[in-house]
Amino acid sequence: LIVPVLASPSMAGRSPLARKVQHKEADRYHYGELRRALIDAALAIVGREGLEALSLRAVARRVGVSPTATYNHFRDKASLLGAAAEVGVRELDRQLREAAGGVRGPGERLEAIGLAYVMFAIAHPTHFRLLGAPELGDKNAQPELLGAYEAAYGVLLDAVKECQAAGVVRTGEPRTLALAAWCTVHGAAWLIVDGQVCVAGIASKPESLARDVVRALFKGLSARNERA
Amino acid sequence: LIVPVLASPSMAGRSPLARKVQHKEADRYHYGELRRALIDAALAIVGREGLEALSLRAVARRVGVSPTATYNHFRDKASLLGAAAEVGVRELDRQLREAAGGVRGPGERLEAIGLAYVMFAIAHPTHFRLLGAPELGDKNAQPELLGAYEAAYGVLLDAVKECQAAGVVRTGEPRTLALAAWCTVHGAAWLIVDGQVCVAGIASKPESLARDVVRALFKGLSARNERA
DNA sequence: ACCTGAACACCGTTCAAGT
DNA sequence: ACCTGAACACCGTTCAAGT
């Protein structure tokens, strides 16, 4: 469960000057490269020092560029964080698909996806926090980020449809069922990274909570499911 | 669904000077009163201007006191926000109990509690966001806040136990089932206030999402529950 | 087109000083 | 015991200026 793009020190991390490309005669970034370097630096800061350490100035500092240089590539701080969050969501998406690919049965696949969602949050708590941070601002202003979320949701939705076709998930609007599943794993993930759950003695270990919650999602609470 | 303590302009809001009590000869707050005024001001700011406008200095400004005066009553900003969040959690707790009290059958009661949880987030999105904000810092440093969360979880837990006794919820560790329910409604609430859901066209209206998710929680996804 | 540096209005926190 | 005011090191953002 190692995530290079999130966990590694990122190419533009340690010695930014060494990574600058010779742009004609000047010592500058190619177009688009500084943008990417800023995003990588933001992800590195979140991963190492946490979300509260993620300031626009700190990002610029890490890349070795003036704070105001960022405004050539991002409208504002929320836009920069949004771009970083988008990378995070795409990585989450990738891990969900990877988890789905490792399993044959459609029911087990759906379960694996739900588990992978919570496990991503456990493995990368600070990154996961960024994905739903208030600092991202209005989501309508970040269509790409919204699209990334939709794609990740699509993994869940497809799995639900497969399960219905195979007869392991009950009938019903697939979008509604997938949404319920998303809410459950998202809620579990958030309660875990927020520390509202394990520290209060409500749940024991994050991993077992993840398992329990996904199983309950399938089985439901109703006693009418008892002798199924 | 009106919440006086959260929605009203709070006593210490408009004219702070008028609310100061005559403390012997000086024009100061009684012990404990400034603390409460700061908390009220914090809640008022969150409700009116959002979480991002909630600074320690803004709170002090609203009460009409020096920024440094807050340090006599709170260790730091996280501690002040934590105290405000605690009030919010207790209000949520109150609304869950109120929703539970309005219903007779145990199954309907549990459903009403889950619905009330999501409805609270819909009615007070900025306050709900405060309850899980990264700015609160480490939850271990805020035992009262943790206790408030536990109490709210207790409402859910008691309802689950009642349901099991009445035979409308299946057998199983009640803490685990209640936790799964909490994850689901919390996830739904968070996705709604975060704007990840309705704006992306994934769900239609927040209220119907809340209903659908709570019903799915009971029924479960498994096809083995189909003909129950 | 892209970057710098100075500037502005903020912010959390510490510290010395007042009563 | 409780509050103020000055100070420090930050922050996001704007703007004029450089190439």
How do residues B60-102 score in pLDDT, each as one tens digit? 999 999 999 999 999 999 999 999 999 999 999 999 999 999 9
Helices B56-63 and B77-101, interaxial angle, to 10°?
80
Task: Please name which of B14, B142, B157 lies closest in space to residue A199, comparing C-alpha atoms.
Answer: B142
- Residue B196 is which amino acid? Q
C-alpha distances (whole Å) from A112 to each of A73, A96, A109, A169, B45 are 38, 8, 5, 15, 42
What are B169's strand-pairing partners?
A: A222
Low pLDDT (below 50) residues in chain A: 1-4, 7-26
The per-residue pLDDT for B32 is 78
Q: Which residues between 182 and 221 in chain A have a beta carbon less than 8 angstroms from any beta carbon of chain B?
A: 182-191, 194-197, 199-203, 209, 212-213, 216-221
Task: Please name which of A110, A217, A122, A135 lies closest in space to residue B188, comparing C-alpha atoms.
Answer: A217
The torsion angle over the Cα atoms of residues A133, A134, A140 and A144, rounded to 10 degrees, is -20
The per-residue pLDDT for B197 is 83
Q: Do A170 and B223 touch (CB under 8 A)?
A: yes
Q: Which of A123-132, A162-171, B30-39, B179-188 has the lowest mean pLDDT?
A: B30-39
Residue of B nearest to A165 (CA): B223
Q: Which residues between 50 and 89 in chain A have a beta carbon less than 8 angstroms from any beta carbon of chain B?
A: 51-52
More confident residue, B43 or B2: B43
CA of A167 to C1' of D17 (A): 68
pLDDT at residue B27 above 80? no
Helix boundaries (H) for chain B: 4-7, 16-19, 33-49, 56-63, 77-101, 106-123, 125-131, 143-166, 174-193, 206-219
Mean pLDDT of all residues in B48-59: 97
What are A222's strand-pairing partners?
A: B169
**CA–CA gap between residue A92 and residue A120 (Å, rounded):** 7
What are A26's strand-pairing partners?
A: A23
What are B100's strand-pairing partners?
A: none
Look at phi and psi of residue A195 and say left if phi exceeds 0, alpha if psi is from -120 to 50, else beta: left
Q: What is the DSSP letter of A199?
A: T
The per-residue pLDDT for B6 is 66
Closest residue (CA) to C1' of nucleotide D14 is A68
N-terminal to C-terminal alpha carbon distance within chain A = 34
Q: CA angle A184-A220-B104, nearest 5°?
A: 100
Is beta strand B22-23 parallel, antiparallel or unpaired with respect to A26-27? unpaired
**CA–CA gap between residue A114 and residue A156 (Å, rounded):** 8
Residue of B nearest to A178 (CA): B221
For a pLDDT cut of 70, what percent of chain B falls above it?
86
Q: Do B150 and A200 touch (CB under 8 A)?
A: yes
Q: Does any strand C atom come closer than 7 Å to the Cβ of A73? A: yes
pLDDT in tens, B90-135: 999 999 999 999 999 999 999 999 999 999 999 999 999 999 999 9
What are A23's strand-pairing partners?
A: A26
